[in-house]
Structures are given as structure tokens and as C-alpha cells.
Structure 1
Amino acid sequence: MSLDEVEYRERRAQARGLQRALEALRDDLVRRSDATMEGWEGLVRRPEFLPSARNLADYLALRRGDLVPFQAPLASLGLSSLGRAEAHVRPSIDAVLASLAMIGGEGVASYPTVETFAAGPARLAARRDALFGARREAPRSRVMVTLPTEAAVNPDLVGALIAAGADCVRINCAHDNPDVWAAMIGQVRQAAMKAGRRVPVQMDIEGPKLRVEALSESVEETGRLFEGDRFEVVETLAHDADLPQVRLSHPALMEAMAEGGAIWINDGKLRAKILKVRPGKVLAEVTSTPSKGAKIKVEKGVNLPGVDLRVPALTEADLGHLDFVLGHADILGFSFVQTGGDLRALFAELDARSDGGTARDWPALMLKIETPLSLRNLPALIVEAGGRVPVGVMIARGDLAVEIGFERLSEIQEEVLWLCEAAEVPVVWATQVLEGMVKEGQASRAEMTDAAMSQRAECVMLNKGPHLVQAVTFLRDVLMRMDRHTSKKSPRLGALGLWHDL
């Protein structure tokens, strides 16, 4: 027997072994996926979302185990290593099994149709266009801009943003008021009409305020705090306190503090350890600041990393804004959503305001993922929300990074992208994209790389700033260039023009 014949037999035996292992994996996937779908029974009221929920259940079942041992052997046979199966989980496995059967001499198995593989990506693209606007000759990823107050009275600014490539706009209900929002939306509708295309409006309700509410006079006197400095978090500010004092905006923050825990202020620029907890007063010591120190300022955000704050997502202020949002917004941005209970509370409020209408009359829903609890609950949140209304997911990377740790953000944002692709749900890549360019007119190299990586999401959000129009133009160009090379996780192997002469 020749060496070629020996190798051929070994390859056939390898294929048969892989086929048996993959069949067992598929059987386990089906069992787990069916159990997950039973748990979601009754949540999906929109029949068009059922295939998405099923594929998500399949993906969760597939990724429960370690697929790494399969990947190199499958690749050595010229087969898919299942590394890009998000949009079509079962068809991907079935196609590999069909090829293994042929290689291993186990007979001819039927392959899934090409249409089966195309269905998931097509649904995701259609949902992207429905949420963020459809455009020809545009990047695959849409561009969302956060409108400044000036947009209410400056039609030239809104027109310039749309002409530069903004596909949709965002209004943050934490700022301004309904009169200003109405003026902003009016400017957007007029500019969109002139441009001849639809420009959707997202309105973000604020959610619970987890911020610095007030400071003692000694904080201003102290100025910047440095590592080793101490301050107190109190329910009532004292005039004669020995240490700087801080009062927070929400009682749940004080209630959740524990000795040995951490408190971070202003997106983690000031980090402190909780030394002592007493009724109405918490002693903290600064553990980290920038080299020039850090000031504590009113309205800056407060986070307790590693702590699940069981705070209702809807506030009284949000309830007061819902009537306006329901009548004007194309997308409702749901801040601080963490549980199914938060979703059901919102749905009940929307239903009460629908005046005999149905969920089809509601805006689409954007789930803003910004806490560890919302991350853990993300699959169920997607299914319950998507089962009622069109849904998207915003990776709110500012608060999320502080809550889960900066070192974990890159890993987690990848996993959210994969999960949402499996659920056929559009994703918004948000917070500090091209921040240097928006604010100062010049982006850092790291920001340029981040902007390029954002192309894997269905939409990229820019915050407001004096150079926003310039940033929209730059981002759109980056996204167009990246579209030549990448589609989601898949490289696109066009010709490399740079080295044609070689």
C-alpha cells in the first residue's frame, strides 16, 4: 500500500470520527435549544421573530461547549471550522456533516440550500434598514449622530449632518425639554425631505440618575483628589465635616455599598475603596486617579463595579416623557434596562398610552446595555423585546466598561456582536467613537482603529461636539473602506491593489 493510500484511509477515518462527534454535538444542541424555546414560550408574539429566536437558542446551545478541538481538524479537511456560524447555526453544522459523510465514505448527505444560509443575514439587513434608514451606495453600517441643543434652531447644522452622511439621529431626553425636542425633530424631518430619504429619530429616556447630586464646600476647597485621599459619601451634607463630602442622586447607591467594595466617579477617572459603612455615611479612600488628580463634580456619573443595582429602569421623569416619545420617535432608547420586569413595565406604560392601538403603533425599541445584569439577561431581553416590537441593541460602552472593568470591554463587545448576529438583531456601537475628532477636530490613532472596528456593527453612534460634521464625513469614509475587507466576522478577499506591481 502506498503512502498516498495510507494517508487517504487515515483522512477517511478522521472524517468518520469527526462526523460521529459532530452528530453527538448536534443532538445535544437540538435538545438544549428545544428546552430554551420552551422557556421562551409565549414571549414571541410576532411570528416574523420566531426564526430569529430559534437561531439564537441554537447559538446559545452551540456555544455552551468548547468548539476549539473541532476547529483545526475540520480546517485540515478543507471544511468550515464553525467560526462564522452565528447567522445560520444548524445549516452550518448540517453542511459540515454532509461533507464529512462524503469524505468518510458514509454515503451522500443532503446539503442545506443556499437560501437557508442567506435568510438570516437578509433579515438582519432588512431590520437595520428599518431601524436606521436604507441607503444605496452607503456603508453597510449606518451612522447615528447625537443632536446638540443648537440643532433646534440651526437648520444648516442638521442639513450639513445629513449631507455628510448621518443616517439617523439621537435625542437624549436627559437634556433640554419637549419644546426643544420638537424643534429638533422638525429640523430633521425638513432636512430629510430635502435629502429625499428617511432619517429616523431615536429618543433615549434617561433612566435612574446615578450621579453626584451635591458637594460640601470642602470639596471645592480641596480641589483635586489624589491616591490616598479620603472623602465621605453621605445622605446629608454637614457644614463642619473634617473630610470632603458627597451626596448621591439615588438612595440605592448608598444601600448597595459594602466595606471593601469600590466606588468609581466620572467614568472611573476617580476610583476609591469603601473603608467603612455607617448609617447615612460611607468612608472611602481614593485608589486611582490620573497623574494630575481628579475633581469630583456635580452631575458626574457614579458606579459601583461588581454590584447589581436592582433599580427600576423607568423613573417618574421617564413616564412624563413617554407621551412625547410615543408621538414623535421612530426608536425609543431604553436606558438602564436590566430585566424582563423592566420591559414589561415599559410595555404596560406604552399600552396604556396607545389609545386602542397595538404594539405595531409603538416605536422600535433600543435596549441600552450598560450593566453586568443586563449583559447576563441579554438573550432573554432580546427575545421578550423582539417578540413584541422591532428591537436593536446598543452597546453603551461608557457605563459598561466601568461596570465590568475596562480590561473586559473588548472581549464583551465582541460577544454581544456575535449574540446579536445570531438573534438577527441590529447593534449600535456607541460611546466615544472618534471622540477626539468630534471634540477637538483631530482623532487619535487608537480612535481611528476603534472606528474601523465599529464597522462590524449595524450602526455607529457619534456624540455631539463642535466638529461633528467633520467626524461624520470621516467615519463614513472609514466604514466604506472597511466594507471592502470585512463583513461581520468574515474577511472579504478582494484583490490587494497595493502590491499588484509585484
Structure 2
Amino acid sequence: MRTQLYVVAAVASTHALRAPQARRRTALRAATLPLEDPNGIADARYRKGVKQVSTLGPASATRDMIEKLFVAGTDVFRLNLSHGAADKLEAARHIREVEAKFGHPVGILADLQGPKHRVGMFSDELPKVFLEKGQSYRFDLEDAPGTQSRVQLPHPEVLAALKKGDAILLDDGKLRVEVTSTGNGFVDTVVTNDAALSSRKGFNLPDTVVPTSAMTPKDIEDLEFLMEGFEGVTVDWIALSFVQRPEDMLELKKRINGRSSAKVLAKLEKPQAVEPEMLRAITDVCDGIMVARGDLGVEMPPEDVPIVQKEIIEECRRQGKPVIVATQMLESMIDSPAPTRAECSDVATAIFDGCDAIMLSGESAAGKYPEESVRMQQRLVRRVEASTRHQELVRMGNIGGYEPPHGETDTDAVVEAAANLARSLDAKCLLVFTRTGSSARRLARLKPGLPILAVTPSVDVARSLALSAYVYPAVLDPAAVDAERANLFFKMLEAGLDVARRKHLVRDPTDRIVCTAGLPFNVEGCANAIRVVEAAGLDCWGGQCIWEG
């Protein structure tokens, strides 16, 4: 009932805002629709809902390849800071050059490495040991080459946190040991499967919460480089790896301390982080989530990962936070020009689950076919979203088997009314005016099945919205519109319609657009107006337009 009341009140209020002016002569003319797309990307780019994140690396960090990946469908570029931040500066500059060329906001996600734990070194004489099931093996702090019976584990905080019965998974889970006893500066374990172990192999702790900061000294150094402005190139998202608790994200926010408008994103890779209460608390304090299935799949049974993926996506939709599904989505395309059928099904499942974005890692960073991988990803997104099954779920508001709560806030009530109105009128686009991006993100969580053109005065907000499903941002400041206050809303509508036409979000003069805004403009959290317009203009309806003579 509340939503219905908002429809009536909002539509009525917009009609009352503009009393028709007296005209000396009026006439009807046939509506026409000028279409512009100077760069030739609109038809492909704006016909998808789920967004694409591409990791840059040796195979893709050039100016030419970054442009190719953008044209192929990339909405957000990921910079992996595992090997430092400074060497990513040139790639970041190239991204902004591509953004300027195409006049379309592009997101940059900087990914901090986090506390990646590794064992110590073995000697040149014994570079690798072969461990057998049932064998005892010790991990200690001794700075000496590993042997057949022990190796250094140079992390005292980890040794202190381990307890009897805890599992340690080494080399991406290829070797598993279980703690049998603990002591001062060591743990003894029993090997549970036959496997080899060599220098600097990583390890995971599925049963153990290590009470230390999620940010290493390297992460802090990289963050400071980002905060210094990346030498004039700002990033839009900062991701923190191996998040275990909400306090980890709060520490990241504290270190940023208002020096950047970048949003913070939690990478969920630990079983402890995806327990229902912990998941809810972590999602609450961050701006977005990444389902990092690589380490998550090592630390928990692989059969649990698809279920956890759905639970994380559902929680993000409940809170209106964008969520990325990542890792091994098209991994075979690192070496092959075509994906496996199972990989195609994996991408489709993420889309049906209701994610906001899907990510490529090695496929675009180091593979032989980065452009083909991005293009294949786009083809999969468009095919799934065009399917009868997906469109029916959109119509029922039941993507992922989850329906967000109705009208939790005033903004939710208005954007839900707009989405329902758009479906009823077979509108081609939703146009939302937003200062902080909140209205657009609340609308995106509904998965409306049609493009959301988000007009914002802030380029930072526009770039961050590039990660949200269905949202295509454009920058337009009401202060730059030459109009008296009484006519500002209608001037902004006209400007928004022009953007929708240029992006080919509408094609026919009679295509309808449902618009939402908060009046007065630039009041945070204000969403109180809805208007339905046709693509030809504010003075047009049913293919006919009024003109003054």
C-alpha cells in the first residue's frame, strides 16, 4: 500500500510542478529521435545488466589493450597490488585516457594484497620434500632451511593462534596437515594426505582466526601511495583481502580517514567471514563485497562454495551493496580461445544468482586471449539476460530466488514504485538523478531488467556506480544547467533524455522512460518525484509533440 501511495503522490507532484504556459499558437508535429553514437559502442555496451571487471597485467596493461577491453565490455578495471602500487600508475593513466575518449565513467578497483601467509625456504640441496599420510611434521620459527621433518613458519601470530585439531592447508590445498600439539614457537602436525612441499608455498587456516590486522605493512604503504593521489589518478574502489571481521574494514576506513572518496570493498576468502552474523556485520560496514572463490574454495569444502556464493549475494542485495563473483570464471581461456561449457554454466549461475558483476583474473591479466575473454563474458551476460527464464524472473522480481523487502525507507518506496511502473508501461529505461549514488544502488538491487541511467553531479560517484548492475552513470551538475529554480527539474530531465538518446537506451520517439529524482536537488537521501516521459521530449506523447509558433 505504501508503494502505491508513493506512485500516486509522486506522479501527481510532478504534474503540479509545471503549469502549462500560455502559448500564442500551438501545433502538433511528428516526433523524431536523433541518435548519436560517435564511438560506435552503445548498442553492445548498454544492452547488458551485469557488469564486467577485468584484471590488468602483463597481457593487458597497454593503452591499446585497455581500450580494446573497454570496448569489449569492461566496466571496471582491477589493479592487483600484490607486487606494489607504483608500477600500476601507468595503467591507471591509460584507463583515464580511455574514459575521456569515450566520455563514459570507468571504475578503477585497487586490490590490496592482504596477509598472504607462506612457509619458509628449503635448501638448494633439498628444494622439495615428499610427505606421506600419517607422518609427523613440525612448523616452527627457526630460521633454517626446511627438512624432511620440519620447516619454518615465519608468522609467530599464526603459531600462537593455532590449537590442537586445527587444519593447515598448504599449496592451495594440495597438502593438508592437522595440529596434534602446540608449544612455544612451534606446532606439531600429522600429514593427512601424500603430497610435496617446497619453498615459499602459501598456506590457509580454515579453522583459525588470527587476531592481527588484515593490513600488512606492505598494504599500508600501498594505501598511502593511493592516498597521495596516485600522482593525480584517483581510484574508485579499494579492496581488502582476507577480511575476517568488520573491524578489518573499519581499520581500512580509519586509515583512509576521508582523504579519498574511494569506496571500500571486502574480499571474502575465510570461512569465518561467511558465517551469517559475521557476513551481515562485514557487509554493513563496507560499500561492496567480492566473493573470492579461490582461497574460499581452499579453506572450505568445495561443495559448500556454490551455496555460500548465493548467501553472500543475497545479503548484499538485502543491504543494497554491489557484489562481485570472482575466480576461475573463464580460466581455460588463459590458454584457449574458447571457454569450457562448465565455465559458461558457472557465469550463467552467477547471473541467475543476482550478482552485480563478474570478474576475470588471469584470463585478462596474463592469458593469451584477454580481449576474447572479455568479449565472451559479455556474450554470456547478454545471452542469459535475454533468455525467457531470466526475463520471467525479472518480471516476478525474483532473481536469485530472493525478493528484497518492500519500502524499508522512503527512497526504497519511491524507486520500487518507479521500477514497477517501468515494468507496467514497458519502459525502455529508468532515469534517476542521484547525488551520492544511493538511489541508483537501491534501484539496482531490485534487478529491474532494464538500464538505469544514473545522472550525478559527481564524477567520483559516477565511477563508483560503474560496478552496480544495470546502472550506467553520467555526470551532469544541476549548477551547470542554465535554468531558473522553477524550471530546473525540467531542464535536468531534458538533459537526461539527451544522454539516454546518445547512449541508445531509447530508439523510438515513443519509447518511455520512468524518471525519479529528489526535489529540491542536492538534498541527500531525498527521493520524492516520479515522472514518465517519452524519448522524443517533455512536450511529446504518443508520437506527437507540441511546438510554439
State whether TM-score is above 0.5: yes
Alignment of 1:413 onto 2:294: no
Aligned residue among 232, 239, 242 for 2:138: 232
Contact 1:306 1:404 in 2 (8 A): no
Q: Give the 3 Å change call, closer, same or farther, for CA 399–115 of structure 1 in structure 2.
A: farther
List aligned pairs for 1:74-223, cutoff 5 A.
Answer: 110=1, 112-113=3-4, 137-149=46-58, 151-152=60-61, 154-178=62-86, 180-217=87-124, 220-222=127-129
Q: Match for residue 221 of structure 2?
A: 320
Taking the aligned partners of 1:444 and 1:283, their CA distance within structure 2 comes to 42
Pair 1:434–1:230, CA change in 2 (3 A): farther
TM-score normalised according to structure 1 size: 0.63
**1:451-490 alignment runs, 5 A limit:** 451-455=347-351, 456-463=354-361, 464-466=365-367, 467-484=369-386, 485-486=389-390, 487=394, 488-489=399-400
Q: Which has the higher helix share?
A: 1
How far apart, CA to CA, are the structure 2 residues paired with 1:297 and 1:449?
Answer: 36
Give per-residue Cα distances to partners, 1:358-413, cap 9 Å, x unaligned: xxx4201111112233223222222233xxxxx11111111222233222111111
| Residues 319-338 of structure 1 aligned to structure 2 (within 5 Å) | 319-326=220-227, 327=229, 328-338=234-244
C-alpha spacing 1:237/1:192, structure 2 compared with 1 (3 Å)? same
Q: In structure 2, how many angstroms separate the alpha carbons of the residues matched to 1:297 and 1:157?
A: 35
Residues 291-338 of structure 1: CA deviation (Å, up to 9, x unaligned): xx444342x331122222222112222221223323221111122333
> How far, CA to CA, are the matches of 1:167 and 1:199 in structure 2?
6
Unaligned runs of 5+ in 1: 1-109, 120-133, 355-360, 386-390, 495-502
Distance in 1, Cα, partners of 2:308 & 2:122: 35
Higher relative contact order (CA 8 A, sep 6+): 2
Q: Do 1:151 and 1:184's aligned partners in 2 also have CA atoms closer than 8 Å?
A: no
Deviations 1:444-497 (A, max 9, x none): 3322211111213101110023222221111111111111232432699x9xxx
Residue by residue, what CA displacement relative to the aligned partner does 1:190-211 show, whole Å, maximum 9, x if unpaired? 2233333222100012222322
Q: Partners in 2 of 1:232 and 1:441 — Cα distance? A: 44
Matched, 1:304 2:205: yes
Give 1:396's aligned amino acid: A
The residue identity in structure 1 corresponding to 2:208 is: V
1:446 paired to 2:342 = yes
For residues 471 and 278 of structure 1, the distance between their equivalents in structure 2, rounded to whole angstroms, comes to: 49
Would the alpha carbon gap of residues 378 and 115 (structure 1) be closer, same or farther in structure 2, given more than 3 Å must change?
A: farther
Amino acid at match of 2:106: V
Q: 1: distance between equivalents of 2:250 and 2:169?
A: 31
Equivalent position SS for 1:215: coil
- 1:358 paired residue number: none
Tell me if structure 1 keeps the 8 A contact 2:82–2:112: yes
How many percent of aligned residue pairs carry the same amino acid?
28
Larger deviation, residues 163-172 vs 260-269: 260-269
Whether the 8 Å CA contact 2:253–2:264 is kept in 1: the answer is no
- Distance in 1 between residues matched to 2:158 and 2:124, nearest whole Å: 22
Contact 1:214 1:246 in 2 (8 A): yes
Distance 1:445 1:338, change over 3 A: same
Cα distance in 1 for partners of 2:348, 2:198 equals 34
Following superposition, the deviation at residue 112 of structure 1 comes to 4.6
Q: Closer, same or farther in 2 for the Cα pair 1:458/1:219, shift >3 Å?
A: farther
Alpha-carbon distance in structure 1 between the residues aligned to 2:70 and 2:45: 14
- When residues 247 and 160 of structure 1 are mapped into structure 2, their CA distance, relative to the original with a 3 A threshold, is farther
Tell me by how many angstroms 1:275 deviates: 3.4
Kindly indicate whether the alpha-carbon contact (under 8 Å) linking 2:169 and 2:299 is maintained by their aligned counterparts in 1. no
SS in 1 for 2:309: helix
Residue 262 of structure 1 corresponds to 167
Out of 369, 379, 384, which is 2:285 matched to? 384
Corresponding letter in the other structure for 2:400: K
Q: Name the CA distance, whole Å, in 1 between partners of 2:161 and 2:224.
A: 33
Shift of 1:221: 4.6
**1:423 and 2:319 matched:** yes
Give the Å deviation of 1:431. 1.3
SS at structure 2 position matched to 1:208 = coil
The secondary structure found in structure 2 opposite 1:174 is: helix
Give the distance between the partners of 1:398 and 1:114, measured in 2 at CA: 47
- Please name the residue that 2:191 is paired with: 286
8 A Cα contact 1:367 1:393, kept in partner: yes
TM-score normalised by length of structure 2: 0.58
Of 177, 180, 196, which aligns to 1:275?
180
User: What's the counterpart of residue 127 of structure 1?
Assistant: none
Give the corresponding residue for 1:368.
Answer: 267
Query: Given that residues 434 and 471 in structure 1 are in contact (C-alpha distance below 8 angstroms), is that contact kept between their aligned partners in structure 2?
Result: yes
Aligned residues: 349
Higher strand share: 2
SS in 1 for 2:151: strand
- Partner letter of residue 367 of structure 1? A
Q: Output the CA distance in 1 between the equivalents of 2:182 and 2:133.
A: 20
Name the residue aligned to 1:397: 293
Q: What secondary structure does 1:277 align onto? A: strand
* Structure 2 contact 128–197 (Cα < 8 Å) conserved: no
Shift of 1:249: 4.5
Residue number among 127, 150, 155 corresponding to 1:245 in the alignment: 150
Residues of 1 paired with 2:220 and 2:298: CA distance? 27
> For the structure 1 residues 136 and 255, does the alpha-carbon distance in structure 2 shift closer, same or farther, using more than 3 Å as the test?
same
**Distance of 2:370 and 2:5 partners within structure 1:** 42
CA contact (8 A) 2:137 2:189 kept: yes
TM superposition shift of 1:279: 2.9
- The structural deviation recorded for 1:189 is 1.4
RMSD: 3.1
Contact between 1:308 and 1:372, CA under 8 Å: does it hold in 2? no
In 2: Cα distance, 1:174 partner to 1:230 partner: 33
